[in-house]
């Protein structure tokens, strides 16, 4: 592949999960394979309409008063043009009389909309978002649920799963709300050195070993002390890691040298000063009205504290 900023060939560095300009940086020694594989597993996004056995209730009932519905296997919903959808163990199937194409397409969308919701209530899909069809389904959900007497403009419950609308008007489930809270809590923990999950600890350890391969032992010790004292994960990617930006820029500027801290205390001091300067003068700034602004600002302040502490320790070695 080609890096469009530098115009140089670019490869994926498995040690840092970033681009590198030198293919040598993609080589993994046998003793490193376990650490690389453990730290950087790739996730395959699920197919939003993949068919799998659903967790369905034993009977169907509609409770319009409480805006709640249970849909069991065998539930039949009549659609336009004499068609209908019937619920099987893996979702609704469309059948009935042959109808005009415009009805068939609309009825197919209604079927997909119900399957989309049922996949979510059964736990076979973790989110209603991040699919190219979401906007269409969001628009169709009220019409689909109206067919069974459920009002999607208000909170509703389908097969035991409560749904509501967020501040942006998106339909979200209680599971999504709980998952988002848990995710945000985990993000906060993973910003720390001491309280992150196993993957975060592996990442910090492995990238520390990688970036400091040529640095002297007293520099490595100063880094470890800084990690302990500040309790910050400097490689956190949620808000962007300045050390990662600088290392990749050096890589492309030098043709593959991403050993950011060099071979001496003086080299390390020079690199840390570059990092602090980038923190103070970022390439891009998140607007203050953006929801990410305060979180990014908080992390940047902690990141600056980390490298200022590290710089002070390095200068004390001279």
Lowest-confidence region among 6-15, 128-137, 174-183: 128-137
Q: Is residue 52 part of a domain?
A: no
Residues 143 and 215 in one domain: no
Site of tokens 């390439």: 283
Comparing 194 with 101, the larger pLDDT belongs to 194
Residues 212 and 284 in one domain: yes
CA angle 5, 7, 10 (to 5 degrees): 90
Question: Final residue of a domain: which of 121, 141, 175?
Answer: 175
Q: Is residue 105 part of a domain?
A: yes
Question: Final residue of a domain: which of 145, 175, 205?
Answer: 175
Question: Final residue of a domain: which of 126, 146, 175?
Answer: 175
pLDDT in tens, 233-289: 998 765 568 888 888 888 888 888 888 888 999 999 999 999 999 988 887 666 666
pLDDT in tens, 198-211: 888 888 888 888 88
Range of the domain at 162: 61-175
**What are the E-state strand segments in the chain?**
11-13, 18-20, 61-63, 68-70, 76-78, 83-88, 91-96, 156-158, 161-165, 171-173
Q: Is residue 167 part of a domain?
A: yes
Q: Is residue 39 part of a domain?
A: no
Q: Is residue 28 part of a domain?
A: no
* 159 close to 73: Cβ distance less than 8 angstroms: no
Residues 73 and 167 in one domain: yes
Report the relative pairing of strands 161-165 and 171-173 from DSSP bridges: antiparallel
Q: Which two tokens mark 110? A: 């209604």
Cα–Cα distance measured from residue 107 to residue 77, given in angstroms and rounded to the nearest whole number: 11
Q: Is residue 214 part of a domain?
A: yes
Give the pLDDT band (50/70/90) at residue 97.
low
Residues 217 and 157 in one domain: no
- The domain total for the chain is 2
Which residues, in sequence order, are CB contacts of 21 under 8 Å at separation 6+? 3, 6, 8, 9, 10, 11, 251, 252, 255, 256
């Amino acid at each position: 592949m080609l890096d469009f900023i530098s115009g140089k060939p670019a490869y994926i560095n498995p040690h840092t999960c970033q681009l590198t300009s030198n293919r040598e940086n993609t080589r993994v020694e046998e003793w490193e394979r376990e650490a690389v594989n453990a730290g950087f597993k790739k996730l395959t996004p699920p197919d939003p309409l993949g068919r799998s056995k659903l967790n369905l209730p034993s009977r169907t009932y509609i409770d319009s008063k409480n805006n709640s519905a249970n849909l069991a296997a065998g539930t039949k919903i009549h659609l336009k043009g004499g068609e209908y959808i019937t619920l099987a163990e893996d979702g609704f199937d469309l059948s009935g009389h042959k109808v005009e194409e415009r009805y068939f397409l609309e009825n197919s969308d209604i079927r997909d909309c119900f399957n989309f919701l049922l996949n979510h209530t059964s736990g076979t899909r973790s989110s209603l978002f991040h699919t190219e069809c979401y906007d269409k389904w969001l628009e169709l959900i009220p019409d689909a649920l109206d067919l069974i007497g459920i009002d999607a403009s208000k909170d509703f419950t389908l097969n035991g799963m409560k749904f509501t609308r967020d501040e942006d008007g998106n339909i979200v489930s209680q599971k999504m709300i709980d998952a988002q809270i848990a995710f945000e809590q985990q993000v906060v923990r993973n910003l720390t050195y001491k309280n992150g999950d196993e993957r975060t600890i592996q990442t910090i350890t492995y990238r520390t070993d990688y970036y400091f391969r040529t640095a002297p032992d007293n520099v490595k010790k100063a880094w470890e002390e800084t990690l302990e004292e500040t309790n910050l994960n400097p490689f956190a990617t949620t808000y962007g890691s300045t050390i990662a930006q600088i290392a990749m820029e050096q890589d492309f500027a030098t043709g593959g040298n991403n050993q950011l801290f060099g071979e001496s205390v003086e080299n390390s001091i020079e690199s840390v000063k570059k990092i602090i300067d980038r923190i103070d003068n970022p390439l891009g700034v998140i607007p203050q009205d953006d929801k990410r602004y305060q979180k990014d600002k908080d992390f940047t302040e902690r990141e600056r504290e980390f490298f200022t502490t590290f710089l002070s320790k390095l200068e004390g070695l001279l």
